[in-house]
Chain A
């Protein structure tokens, strides 16, 4: 059952030197309860395509698509007001820099209660109680005390837990996580990934994980989509992708992993890139 379907998405940015195509005819689809990983290096358009779906790109971006539907509803023809009923409620997002994602001037409690009042329609009192529950659910120590903490008083891992609590506050059906663990240490990364997978299994929400880390893909995804320079290179279930990659770029990427080194030098993506550079 398709939850989010995007067909032929193109995103162009107008710049002083002409237009730049960041996403070039990408298809994305996620089923209910599925974990999709979108993998790519910098400049692959992996974040931009999801920001486009969320409607979070600046005015300089031109977004076109043949189809963009969420649970059968057309996101393209919707009024902004209707769209806001979905974005932030049924589809939520977390970002790479947890400390930068939170407002430094307000307590964690204020920020999550704001989400609960505006997007879940709870009263102040109910929001407070639900916030404590959510903090408990994401494994924050001393949930009541944390409501009164400012972002600078929390570690990176704790801030990301607060962000996750805010993102699941409205019981979304799709959570988009954009490099959620890139800024974190590996032991904290494991905790956060475990938490996301646990929540996914408990709630049955779909999860789109944007990452550059093949290890993270191997440990979380059901299905994987590989992007390079705004184009989709390959799409496969996680085991097939690692076992038998079809696309030359995917193969190059996998053999560039230090753990896959054969002999005393790594194979690089360079040979593929040179091949690509020729028109």
Chain B
């Protein structure tokens, strides 16, 4: 198994300029995180708002540069602050964002959305670009006839399929998924998660899956990294983390997640009835 992406002690600081009334300060958003993802595997990064998980996603997706540490894509160090990544490097890593209403240009037809990555990063001729875009639409479960439609004509789940299709146009080896299903309804969420599982199998993709939803993570992840305030408080295989969480924060997160377990519901209903009986008597 080959490692697609590796982070070594990644750090990201944000410097906030001071003003007359306020001294300048530095926010340590990511405080030295290390991880590795192999081909065909999924690393889930879990955390609450402000944990630094999206900052980490942006570093891995080559959007933001790290302040410290090293990022390796297929074994090659990449530092977007020093050298512009090559088109090949850009093609290897793609990202899907949380909100499919914000991540598609409302004035761009779906076909153009899908062809643009090829136009910018490859020398593929126009007819081939068109064919590949149509093929990709079918792959993500949309009819090829939707090629000439605009984003507003699609539902949230369909738009997320389009965003996924766009990310796959360059045959990446790594997909960064930043909360890809949290804006979707439960039924649509299941469809998109299934699609991601199918595509991972077909293209042997590595996923870095950012999420705050533990039930989704448990379903999709091979490895789990729990972040809190910029630190990786727990890291391990899905089985290990879910069976026996070590860090108090992970335990707190698990305890706070609502469960639909029948025994738990039964126990709660019994508690409530007992309390009612006590109050009534």
Residue of A nearest to B272 (CB): A222
Interface residues on A, range: 35 or more
Chain B nearest CB from A69 CB (Å) reads: 24
Q: Indicate if the CB atoms of A215 and B258 lie closer than 8 Å.
A: yes
CB atoms of B186 and A186 under 8 A apart? no
Given A41-B185, A218-B259, A239-B265, do A259 and B218 touch, yes or no (CB 8 Å)? yes
Identify whether the interface residues of A are mostly helix, strand, loop, or mixed. Answer: helix
Residue A74, interface by CB 8 Å: no
B48 and A242 contact, CB distance less than 8 A: no
| Contact B194 A41, beta carbon cutoff 8 Å | no
Question: Which segment of A7-15, A163-171, A260-268 sits at the interface?
Answer: A260-268
Query: Are A238 and B186 touching (Cβ within 8 A)?
Result: no
Among the listed A187, A219, A253, A257, which residue makes an inter-chain contact with B215, where contact means beta carbons less than 8 Å apart? A257
**B26 close to chain A: CB less than 8 A:** no
Q: Which of B9-17, B111-119, B169-177, B249-257 contacts A (4 or more CB under 8 A)?
A: B249-257
A266 to B196, CA, bound (A): 11
Is B139 at the interface (CB under 8 A from chain A)? no
**B190 CB-CB contact with A under 8 Å:** yes
A212 vs B213: C-alpha distance in the bound complex, in angstroms?
14
Is A270 positioned at the interface, with any CB of B under 8 Å from its CB? yes
Contact of A52 with B by CB under 8 A: no
A190 at the interface (CB under 8 A from B): yes
Residues of B within 8 A of A266 (CB): 190, 193-194, 219
Q: Which residues of chain A come closer than 8 Å to B264, judged between CB atoms?
A: 218-219
Q: Could you tell me the distance in whole angstroms from the C-beta of B141 to the nearest C-beta in chain A?
A: 10
Residue of B nearest to A189 (CB): B256
Instruction: Please determine whether B215 and A259 come into contact, CB atoms closer than 8 angstroms.
Output: yes
A105 to B220, CA, bound (A): 44
How far is A239 from B48 in the complex, measured between Cα atoms in Å? Answer: 30
Which listed residue, B48, B187, B193, B255, touches A258 by the CB 8 Å rule? B193
Please judge, given known A-B contacts A186-B256, A189-B256, A213-B258, whether A219 and B48 are in contact too, CB under 8 Å.
no
CA distance A265 to B196 in the complex (A): 10
**Contact bitstring B184-215, A, C-beta under 8 A = 1, else 0:** 01110111011001000000000000001111
B49 at the A interface (CB under 8 A): yes
* B120 adjacent to chain A (CB < 8 Å): no
The 8 A CB mask of A49-82 against B (1 = contact, 0 = none) is 0000000000000000000000000000000000
**A213–B186 Cα gap in the complex (Å)?**
8
A252 at the interface (CB under 8 A from B): yes
B63 within 8 A of A: no
Asked if B27 CB lies within 8 Å of chain A CBs, one says no
Binary contact readout A66-101 vs B (1 if CB under 8 angstroms, 0 otherwise): 000000000000000000000000000000000000
Residues of chain A with a CB closer than 8 A to B189's CB: 256, 258
B84 within 8 A of A: no
The distance in angstroms between the C-alpha atoms of A42 and B279, with both chains bound, is 38
Tell whether, in the assembled complex, residue A41 and residue B187 are in contact, meaning their CB atoms are under 8 Å apart.
yes
- Any chain B CB within 8 A of the CB of A140? no
Does B243 touch A at the CB level, under 8 Å? no
- Report the nearest B residue to A238, measured CB to CB: B265
| A201 in contact (CB, < 8 A) | yes
**Interface SS of B by simple majority:** helix
Contact A265 B197 (CB under 8 A): yes
A185 near B197 (CB under 8 angstroms)?
Answer: no
Query: Does A267 lie within 8 Å of B218, measured CB to CB?
Result: no
> By the criterion CB–CB under 8 Å, are B262 and A242 in contact?
yes
Collect the chain B residues with CB atoms within 8 Å of residue A258's CB.
Answer: 189-190, 193, 213, 215-216, 218-220
Task: Flag whether A269 is at the interface (Cβ < 8 A).
Answer: yes
| With known contacts A219-B268, A259-B219, A214–B260 Cβ distance under 8 A | yes
Chain B nearest CB, measured from A162 CB (Å): 19
In the complex, chain B residues whose CB is within 8 Å of the CB of A256:
186-187, 189-190
Q: Are B257 and A214 in contact (CB under 8 A)?
A: no
Q: Which chain B residue lies CB-closest to A256?
A: B190
Is the CB of B82 closer than 8 A to any CB of chain A?
Answer: no
Name the residue on A nearest B49 (C-beta): A185
Closest to A215 in B: B258
- B275 interfacial contact with A, CB 8 Å: yes
Query: B266 at the A/B interface (Cβ < 8 Å)?
Result: yes
> In angstroms, how far is the closest chain B Cβ from the Cβ of A190?
4
CB–CB A268/B265 < 8 A: no
- Chosen A-B contacts, 13 in total, with CB atoms closer than 8 Å, are A42-B185, A186-B253, A187-B48, A215-B259, A239-B266, A242-B265, A256-B189, A258-B215, A258-B218, A258-B220, A259-B215, A260-B260, A269-B190
Chain A interface residues (CB < 8 Å from chain B): 33, 41-42, 185-187, 189-190, 193, 201, 204, 212-219, 222, 237-239, 242-243, 252-254, 256-261, 264-270, 273
- Using a CB–CB cutoff of 8 Å, the interface residues on chain B facing chain A are 48-49, 185-187, 189-191, 193-194, 197, 212-216, 218-220, 252-253, 255-262, 264-266, 268-269, 272, 275-276, 279
Contacts A217-B260, A258-B216 known; list 18 others, CB within 8 Å. A186-B214, A186-B253, A190-B255, A190-B256, A190-B258, A215-B259, A222-B269, A238-B269, A239-B269, A242-B262, A256-B189, A256-B190, A257-B260, A258-B193, A258-B220, A267-B190, A268-B191, A270-B187
